[in-house]
Structure 1
Amino acid sequence: MARKQKAKRIERGLYRAGKTYLACATPPGSRTVRWKTIGEVGLMEARSRRDAWVVEVRSGGVQARGGRETVKEVALAWLEYVERLVEIGELRGRTLESYKTGVMLHLIPDYGHRRIRSLTTDDLVEWHRKQRAAGASVWTIRARWMAVRGVLAYAARHGMIAASPADKLLPRERPGAGEARQRFLSREEMDALLEHAGSAHALIATALFTGLRVMEVLALKWGDVDFTEGVIRARFQLSRQGKRVPLKTKAAKRDIVLMDALGKLLRRRRLAERYSTDSDFIFQSSTPRKPMTYKGLLNVFHRARDGAGLGDVTFHALRHTFASILIAQGRDVQFVSRQLGHTKTSTTWDTYVHLFDAQRHAKDARDQLETDYGGLLGGTSDG
């Protein structure tokens, strides 16, 4: 008699014994794992059947029971689903962390004990009111709301509720995205920030005059800087786990202009560094050859910012400032978009349309004034 093979874990909810795939899932409110033999199929087909099995287990008999799952049970099941999306690369880890915060801190504490079917639109309106009363910003509330809405959509899709109450909210009752607050540094503020940067001078200067995102800055290695061509090649970003991972979109992978002064500053830094081969990080932590962490970057940036008296400036404002510099120089939207790594030029236009308009109108006004009234001053002279 053939010896039964032990199943090996492939990923969450999916195992393989020899050539045979198996799927497992736990019903809401139960600790008993239910298994299903999928058979000898390919990995993609096994994943598809696994997902179908998870849905069946989590929603099977729900309507007959009358939707007895609690909000907490459904929320945790939804987070497991989201974790699988991260594992197969369909969702970013940072998004998962945001969802976990919304669920664990802003949904379960107040509503976790409730039956999922008992939640109403009035409950969601009250949730929104409490968030505002607690002083949360529009964008913060919006991020938390995405998690709440995701849980309810999951429950509706799996038959735990007839429809999501979030879909029944009036437009004025839904947490809005708000308007992005863009902060641009003036030349005087740039000077003050760099003056107080201390050991972070090269880091802040790089962010300020390249428009790199924070995780792109942290991922930079010396091999990414082409001093001969005068460009910085953005190809990677740092993950939350401190790993250097490729940028996801074609547009994000870009060559950014490197002005001479910044190039000289980076050359001096490289000469002063002990570890400065092409494979070494430009901005390292206290551990040799390890990249500076996100927290470490914020610490040094906040010291420089507070020392310069610019308490309202975020690190992302340096990216906005770089965009404003290019626009003020008369660069068109396509060039600015490529430098920032936007997938669509419409994103650049929508974000900075007021700057493009101001620059264009200022030039038009100067030219028209010169055409219409320049002759009046042609014969004048100083003194």
Structure 2
Amino acid sequence: MSIAKRPSGKWRAQFHEFPGGPRRTKVFDRKGDAQRWLDEQRVNIARGEYVDPTRARQTTFDAHATAWMAAQPWRGSTRDKTESMYRTHIEPKFGVRPIGSLRTSELQAWATGLGATLAPSTVEGTYRLLSSILRAAVADRVIARSPADGVRLPRREAEIRVPLSVGEVVGVAENIVPELEVAVLVAAATGLRQGELFGITEDRVLWLKRELVIDRQLVTPSKGAPFFGPCKTARSTRTVPVTDEVLSLLAQHRQRFGAGDAGVVFHRDGGPWARNRAAARISDAATKAKVGVTGWHALRHHTASVLIAQGLGVTAVARMLGHSPAECLATYAHWWPNEDDQIRKAIARTWATSAAAAVCD
């Protein structure tokens, strides 16, 4: 680090980020100001907090975001969903901007604007993606701080789910394409996620044990061939008990349609069902059946509602769905019956005799 007086009478301060690294310079009217600036840079470098301002000006948001997303260890479906979210809601607004030019106030206005047209959950997911990209820029010393810090999202009201009734599930099954009729009923009786359902192969059906082995899921990326991938979480790997009725449905389906490629139970002319095609089919069926809740995941919620209505506890429901108990409670707590009366009776039974004896004494 050094300071030199220029012919103009001004003072030029200069330093190198690291030995042999690029030289950074700045000109000041007074020598004292130049020295204070050098001292600040020396401290920042020593702390590992130095940020080259030229990188923030020269790096576009899209260049940094694209490189960051490419480096993430996402599964194919997660990558497709995340990149679609970025290209739809973030890149058009901030892509060409220098990443150092973004301000908290404009990010706040952007988030508020999203809330006017998108569901709160979508706004939250989009904001989290933007925030993650900017945090990575801070970690890479591209910017000193994230302008996403301090942004407030629209209030997210608690979502009250209304599960499908048995009649509605049957209505969807009756109106879907024949190849998926049994798939709807099996999904409603097992609570499988869409990828788990369409990833079932014949060797995963344990007929004598009356179980389905769920240890993988079908992944159908937007580009490339479908493949079997790992389950969503470690808890998602499980065996799911099934009834004799479900096994009978699977047997009838097998007799009618046979097995698909790699032994897939539910297939489309032998090939796997692409995620978007299967989603479109159940949406169409729900419309025909005049059912308001659409999507394969609605059948998973139906399973949870049936188990809870029959008195099963959090642990059993979570195990069936491949959830953690905490996640299960966060999603379905409002479906469990109120236990206030049971609490009163339990306390009354325990204390009635002792309390009466104490009063008599």
1:191 correspondence with 2:170: yes
Correspondence for 1:85: 72
State the 1:164 CA deviation. Answer: 0.5
Q: What is the CA deviation profile of residues 243-286 of structure 1, one whole-angstrom value per residue up to 9, with x for unaligned ones?
A: 11232543211111111111111111112234379x51011122
Percent identity, aligned pairs only, is: 25
Q: Which residue of the partner structure matches residue 244 of structure 1? A: 228
Paired amino acid for 2:81: S
Q: 1:264 to 1:168 in 2, by over 3 A?
A: same
Q: Compared with structure 1, are the counterparts of its residues 281 and 66 closer, same or farther at alpha carbon in structure 2 (3 Å cutoff)?
A: closer
Tell me which residue corresponds to 1:96. 79
Structure 2: tracts of 5 or more residues without a match: 1-47, 350-361
The reply to whether residue 208 of structure 1 matches residue 188 of structure 2 is yes
The Cα of 1:226 is off from its aligned counterpart by 1.2
In the TM superposition, residue 97 of structure 1 has moved relative to its aligned partner by 2.8
Instruction: Output the CA distance in 2 between the equivalents of 1:102 and 1:166.
Output: 17
Deviation at 1:124, TM superposition (A): 0.7
Shift of 1:361: 6.1
Whether the 8 Å contact between 2:61 and 2:98 is mirrored in structure 1 is no
Please say if residues 198 and 273 of structure 2, whose CA atoms lie closer than 8 Å, have aligned partners that are also in contact.
Answer: yes
Aligned residue identity for 1:168? G
Corresponding residue of 1:67: 56
Q: Are 1:112 and 2:95 matched, yes or no? A: yes
Kindly indicate whether residue 308 of structure 2 is the aligned counterpart of residue 324 of structure 1: no
Q: 1:282 aligns with which of 246, 256, 265?
A: 265
CA contact (8 A) 1:251 1:341 kept: yes
Displacement of 1:60: 12
* Residue 67 to residue 251, structure 1, CA distance change in 2 (3 Å): closer
Give per-residue Cα distances to partners, 1:267-322, cap 9 Å, x unaligned. 11112234379x51011122x2x211112211321222111101333321110110
**1:128-170 C-alpha deviation (Å, 9 max, x unpaired):** 122123x11111212221221122112222222221111133x
CA distance in 2, matches of 1:276, 1:80: 38
Distance 1:108 1:350 in 2: 32
Secondary structure in structure 2 of the residue aligned to 1:256: strand
**Secondary structure at the residue paired with 2:272?**
coil
Report what 2:286 is aligned to.
305
1:183 corresponds to which letter in structure 2?
Answer: V
Q: Given that residues 99 and 146 in structure 1 are in contact (C-alpha distance below 8 angstroms), is that contact kept between their aligned partners in structure 2? A: no
Alignment of 1:255-294 (within 5 A): 255-275=239-259, 279-286=262-269, 288=270, 290-294=271-275
Worse-superposed segment, 99-108 or 294-303: 99-108
- In structure 2, the CA distance between the partners of 1:187 and 1:361, relative to structure 1 (3 Å rule), is farther
SS at match of 1:165: coil
* Structure-2 residue corresponding to 1:148: 130
The alignment of Structure 1 onto Structure 2 pairs a total of residues equal to 294
1:335 matched to 2:322: no
| Whole-angstrom CA distance in 2 between matches of 1:151 and 1:66 | 16
Matched-pair contact (CA < 8 Å) for 1:145–1:175: no
Aligned counterpart for 1:123 among listed residues 102, 106, 109: 106
Larger of the two Rg values belongs to structure: 2
Q: Secondary structure at the match of 1:351?
A: helix
Q: Distance in 2 between matches of 1:228 and 1:66?
A: 64
Question: Does the 8 Å CA contact 1:207/1:319 hold for their aligned counterparts?
Answer: yes
Q: How far, CA to CA, are the matches of 2:101 and 2:228 in structure 1?
A: 45
When normalised by structure 2's length, the TM-score is 0.73
- TM-score, normalization by structure 1: 0.69
Q: 2:214 touches 2:238 (CA, 8 Å); kept in 1?
A: yes
Equivalent residues of 2:112, 2:154 under 8 A apart: no
Name the counterpart of 2:119: 137
Unaligned runs of 5+ in 1: 1-58, 372-383
Structure 2 SS opposite 1:128 = helix
What are the equivalent positions in structure 2 for 1:339-358 lying under 5 Å apart?
339-342=320-323, 344-358=324-338
RMSD: 2.8
**1:335, distance to aligned residue in structure 2 (A):** 1.1
Amino acid at match of 1:268: Q
CA 1:276–1:136 in structure 2 vs 1: closer, same or farther (change >3 Å)? closer
